[in-house]
Homo-oligomer: A and B are copies of this chain.
Amino acid sequence: MSEIKVNPAILSGFMELLPEDQVRFDRLKEIIEGEFRTYGFWPLDTPAIERCEVLFSKGGGETAKQVYRIDPEAHSVEQALRFDLTVPLARYVALHSSELAFPFRRYQIAKVYRGERSQKGRYREFYQCDIDIIGRDRLSVDNDAEIASVIYRVFKRIGITGVTFCINNRRLLNGFFRYLQIEDTESVLRAIDKRDKIGDEGVAKILAELGLSEDVSEEIFGFLSPRGSNDRTFAVLRGLADQIRCCGAEGPESESLRVYEEGVDELERVYRRMQLFGVPEENIRIDLSITRGLDYYTGTVFETFLNGYESVGSVCSGGRYDDLASNFTKEHLPGIGLSIGLTRLFYQLDAAGLLPEDEEYLKAVVLPMSADDTDAAVAAVNALRDAGIRSQIYLEGGKVKKKFGYADRVKAAFAVMIGESERESGTASVKNLRTGEQESVALRDLAEFILAR
């Protein structure tokens, strides 16, 4: 063995947790996974490494720069770590479509990799929790409402009901922009998406660069501005349609009106249905400025904010896409999906003190007082484990104080002591490590005693 030690540091932008925090992280993950399953989403696990051809099938761009490529010297096929779970889903559905039942509902909770510049709140390896519903040829917009409601349930389970869904519809925006005779609607959508980061002035600057007049720009800002209640917003949206119609929309104008009204209809339907699926009205806000940056969204888009913690940004985002896997298959596969950035969410909830209450991980540590007590102590821990009680036996020698110190250190709920007198009487001395109370319990009742707490 060399005398020079290797530094055991991890790479910058990566994270790992101490055991107690890992338990809290896993608990959050389990809540999310539990609700995904209750909603009938099926688990999916795809390879972390994909062919570059697959990963960049929609073109490279910013993503290609960030991707973790596998050393090309060593492999004949160009390959890299996935940067999201949507591209692997598209590939999976295209590859297996003949074997899947549509609508296909899947969840995937897995790590993705992005070689971003390291900074606070940005991770190079992080968990995404995705759910998607994929139709073949068509998919009811009611699914858009259902999928958002899952997230309400997730946060309710965590203990957070102060969550606001900001929903919008791309079709509505596209119809309106076309009515304004804007051709490059994608660029306008992307500009508006940056509003939180660069402010109205920044957006106005981009719009001017895109060749939009100040009048048009003002009309856009006016359109995006909040209108008070959701009902008021819908009234304004409907009013605008009537206004266009009155002016006698013709040709391209009537087409943009049609798209616009379809968008308003969808948005209102999703809004109503979300309530039917259990999201209270006060947790939903029609927000016309939500656009989502990604090109592939075509209808519903939404972001989710924790009330009072809006500054941390959206904790769950998603939307509707018309055609998931057009790069891989001729089949028409519309879908609705959303994603939670779990790693970031964990740190945000932790910092805000919003994580679910701690329970102890270990129920009991069995402490044989001397080597002679090992047999009886093993019998005791066997009985606890048979009853499904998470428990451990301390098998090292040493002083009693050290043994109790260990039980304290691992934050067990109970220390179960077995010494000579306990052995003779077929009992254990059970100490509640929260209250300090100690009781003598017959060994045959031990599991029941601990379960009853």
Enumerate chain A interface residues (CB-CB to B < 8 A): 1-2, 5-11, 14-19, 22-23, 25-26, 37-40, 42-51, 53-54, 57, 68-72, 74-75, 77, 79, 90-92, 94-96, 99-101, 103-106, 111, 113, 115, 125, 135, 138-140, 142-143, 146, 153, 273, 276-278, 323, 325-330, 361-362, 365, 374-375, 378-379, 382, 385, 388-397, 406, 409-410
Contact = CB atoms under 8 A, between A and B. Distances in A.
Nearest to A59: B2
25 contacts: A2-B327, A5-B328, A6-B57, A6-B328, A7-B53, A7-B328, A8-B92, A11-B49, A11-B77, A16-B44, A16-B45, A16-B46, A18-B96, A19-B42, A23-B43, A39-B390, A40-B365, A40-B390, A48-B111, A68-B74, A69-B70, A70-B71, A273-B378, A277-B378, A277-B382
Nearest to A66: B74
A344 to B, nearest CB: 15
A5 B71 contact: no
Contacts of A15: 47
Given A22-B42, A125-B48, A392-B39, A326 B1 contact: yes
A99 B49 contact: no
B361 A42 contact: yes
Contact of A47 (B5, B8, B125, B362): B125
Contact of A6 (B49, B142, B327): B327
A39 B135 contact: no
Given A16-B45, A22-B45, A69-B70, 6 more contacts: A22-B42, A48-B125, A74-B115, A101-B406, A105-B392, A276-B375
